[in-house]
Amino acid sequence: AQSVTQPDIHITVSEGASLELRCNYSYGATPYLFWYVQSPGQGLQLLLKYFSGDTLVQGIKGFEAEFKRSQSSFNLRKPSVHWSDAAEYFCAVGDIDYKLSFGAGTTVTVRA
H helices of 32-82, in order, are none
Q: Is 102 in the site for another protein (CB under 8 A)?
A: yes
CB of 23 to another protein, least distance (A): 12
Cα 54 from Cα 111, distance rounded (Å): 33
Question: Which residue among 89, 90, 108, 110 contacts another protein (CB under 8 A)?
Answer: 90
Question: Which residue among 51, 61, 71, 82 contacts another protein (CB under 8 A)?
Answer: 51
How far CA 11 is from CA of 37, 39, 111, in Å, comes to 14, 15, 11
Q: Is 94 in the site for another protein (CB under 8 A)?
A: yes
CB of 56 to another protein, least distance (A): 19
- Strand segments (E) across the chain: 3-5, 10-14, 19-21, 24-26, 32-38, 44-50, 56-58, 64-68, 73-78, 87-94, 100-102, 106-111
Q: Is 41 in the site for another protein (CB under 8 A)?
A: yes
Question: Toward another protein, which CB reaches closer, 15 or 95?
Answer: 95
Q: Which residues bind another protein (CB under 8 A)?
A: 4, 9, 32, 34, 36, 41-46, 49, 51, 90, 92, 94-96, 98-105
